[in-house]
Amino acid sequence: MSAAELKPAVQEADEWRTAQAQFDEAAELIRLEPWLREVLREVQREFTCTFPVKLDNESIRMFTGYRVQHNINRGPAKGGIRYHPDVSLNEVKALAMWMTWKCAVVNIPFGGAKGGIIVNPRELSLNELEHMTRRFATEISILIGHDRDIPAPDVNTDGQTMAWIMDTLSMHLGYSSPASVTGKPIEVGGSLGRIEATGRGVTITSVAALEHLGRNPHQTRVAVQGFGNVGSISARLLEEAGCTIVAVSEDYGGIHNPLGLSIKRVLEYRAREKTLNGFPGSQPIGNQELLSVDCDLLVPAAIGNQLTSRNARDVKAKLIVEGANGPTTPEADAIFRERGIFLVPDILANAGGVTVSYFEWVQDLQSFFWSEHEVNQKLKAIMTRAFAEVLNTREEKKLDMRMAAYVQAVSRVAAATRERGLYP
Ligand code: NAD
């Protein structure tokens, strides 16, 4: 057993440690000045709030939430809000830092932020969710706004959550402020194409990676972990691009068919039965088992820390495209590098969401809305260019794709920070 495999899982699973380790490696590669290393390896602002919500049975429950801004030198802070029982300050800090790099990789004028509440939203009624969301929006209203920090959906939050946040902020202001939040429903200033944007970006980068590897999408078998916004849309669009989807899963497990699953039918089945279990013609598959299923392309699109030193050697796919944020620990990354697996990192692969969030923000500020075709075309142009730039850096500097993306991103953020200089 290697040293990496002996490391305690707790340490390996600390996202903030992962984020800082990735940054340190990139900072070393570009010989970043020591003062910039110190600035960029920390978050600029971290905010914790503990707040009460009255439940339907009139009892009061306390919740803890976070909003973290990592860096705002290239523009307002941008990042999603997550509702999950495992949310922690360290996780939110890492996600905020990754947002800074993600916006810089695709070169959109935002800094990085993230937020979250420690909650299992399935335990709350819709009414309770709305009250919790509106109270959290009030708590973080001292930080957020269209020119300061702009939230978006993430795990277990959606357009409805964003509409409640936008409405709460607007009520405080006394006028509507649609540009203060993205991922909103179309009726309140959302952008066409935003719901599909992250999965579309995953598909664009997957197809670009397959092309680079000289592989035909029509001969590519795909496994997707997570069948939420990112996972289900990636699966549908990859299928449209010609791939065969052999396995998909949710938190309770998933389904497998080596001959291929019809994603359209799986979506219809899940909408009807509220589960993937029992989909005709499929065999059940565990979440961990899915990661090592026989396939060519693996898309982790659920939560962080899924690919670790414990399972990285079992992965059969030769291509991994990270739909989720932080699905791979540094230990697993090292194993993938050693095994010659081509990995498209989260900060590039799932940047389609924040890119169309940027389009939504621009449209809201101008009150001038684009067609879905225009949104998708502009998204494709940005994702394709970013993929090509990262690939170039990879080849020029003999790096893996993650470090190449980091080199691009950290160089851009460092340049902005350097040029702005130190205040006061
Ligand atoms: P979602 O809530 O819509 O879906 C999450 C999915 O993951 C669900 O299918 C859920 O069942 C599954 N899941 C949860 N825990 C799991 C576990 N332990 N094992 C397997 N599956 C599990 O969330 P989403 O918006 O699709 O986000 C998924 C990932 O993509 C997250 O890492 C998120 O940060 C990242 N991401 C999302 C966006 C976006 O625009 N929504 C953008 C960039 C990155």
Residues with CB under 6 A from ligand 1: 153-156, 198, 225-231, 249-251, 287, 301-303, 323-325, 350, 353
**Tens-digit pLDDT profile for residues 96-128:** 999 999 999 999 999 999 999 999 999 999 999
Residue of minimum CA distance from atom 5 in ligand 1: 228
Mutate to test the pocket of ligand 1, among 285, 303, 348 (most ligand atoms within 8 A of CB): 303
pTM exceeding 0.85:
yes
Å from CA of 383 to ligand 1 middle: 20
Residue type, 94: A
- Residue 3: the pLDDT is 40
Rounded Cα–Cα distance for residues 310 and 332 (Å): 8
Amino acid symbol at 37: R
State the closest ligand 1 atom to the C-alpha of 183, by its place in the atom list counted from 1.
Answer: 40
The pLDDT tens digits for 6-61 are 344 667 889 999 999 999 999 999 999 999 999 999 999 999 999 999 999 999 99
CATH 3.40.50.300 assigned to 44-177: no
**Dist. CA 154 → ligand 1 center (Å):** 7
Name the closest-CA residue to atom 27, ligand 1. Answer: 155
Q: What per-residue confidence (pLDDT) applies to 12?
A: 85
* β-sheet bridge partners, residue 112: 71, 78
E-assigned strand segments in 3-89: 45-54, 60-71, 77-84
Q: Kindly report the number of other CB atoms within 10 A of residue 217's CB atom.
A: 20
pLDDT, one tens digit per residue, over 257-276 is: 999 999 999 999 999 999 99
**Residue of 119, 196, 198, 328 to mutate, ligand 1, most atoms within 8 A of C-beta:** 198
- What pLDDT, in 10s, does the model give residues 133-150? 999 999 999 999 999 999
Compute the distance between CA of residue 146 and CA of residue 154 in angstroms, rounded to an integer. Answer: 18
Please give the distance, rounded to the nearest whole angstrom, from the Cα atom of residue 229 to the centre of ligand 1.
7
Span 318-357, pLDDT tens digits: 999 999 999 999 999 999 999 999 999 999 999 999 999 9
CA-nearest residue for atom 31, ligand 1, is 324
Angle at 15 between CA 385 and CA 232, to 5 degrees: 55
- Report phi then psi at 318, rounded to 5: -95, -10
Helix 263-273 and helix 229-240, axial crossing angle in degrees, nearest 10: 150
Pocket perturbation via mutation, ligand 1, pick of 68, 108, 154 by most ligand atoms within 8 A of CB = 154
155 CA distance to ligand 1 centroid (A)?
5
The protein residue whose alpha carbon is closest to atom 18 in ligand 1 is 251
Which residue has the CA at smallest separation from atom 15 of ligand 1?
Answer: 251
pLDDT at 102: 98
Decide if 44-177 and 197-347 have a common fold.
Answer: yes
The closest-lying atom of ligand 1 relative to the alpha carbon of residue 157 is 2
Nearest CA to ligand 1 atom 23: 155
Q: Name the residue of 15, 92, 251 to mutate for ligand 1: max ligand atoms within 8 A of Cβ.
A: 251
Instruction: Residue 372: name the closest of 197, 221, 224 by CA.
Output: 197
**pLDDT for position 391:** 98
Q: Which of ligand 1's atoms lies nearest the C-alpha of 351?
A: 43
- CATH architecture type of domain 197-347: 3-Layer(aba) Sandwich (3.40)
| Peptide bond connecting 424 to the previous residue in cis, omega within 30 degrees of 0 | yes
pLDDT at 2 over 50: no
User: Tens digit of pLDDT for each residue in 200-257?
Assistant: 999 999 999 999 999 999 999 999 999 999 999 999 999 999 999 999 999 999 999 9
316 part of the active site? no
pLDDT at 11: 78
What is the rounded (10 degree) CA torsion for 286, 291, 293, 298?
130
The answer on pLDDT for 1 being more than 80 is: no
CA 253 to ligand 1 centroid distance, Å: 14
For β-strands 342-344 and 319-321, DSSP reports them as: parallel
The one catalytic residue in 114, 264, 378, 398 is 114
Contact 387, 355 (CB under 8 A): no
Q: Is residue 68 scored above 60 in pLDDT?
A: yes
How far away, in angstroms, is 300 Cα from ligand 1 center?
Answer: 9
Summarised one tens digit per residue, pLDDT across range 147-195 is 999 999 999 999 999 999 999 999 999 999 999 999 999 999 999 999 9
CA of 201 to the centre of ligand 1 (A): 15
Write out pLDDT tens, residues 389-422. 999 999 999 999 999 999 999 999 999 999 999 9
Cβ within 8 Å of residue 14, ≥6 positions away: 90
Spell out the domain ranges in the chain.
44-177, 197-347
pLDDT tens by residue, 288-308: 999 999 999 999 999 999 999
- Ligand 1 center to residue 234 CA distance, Å? 12
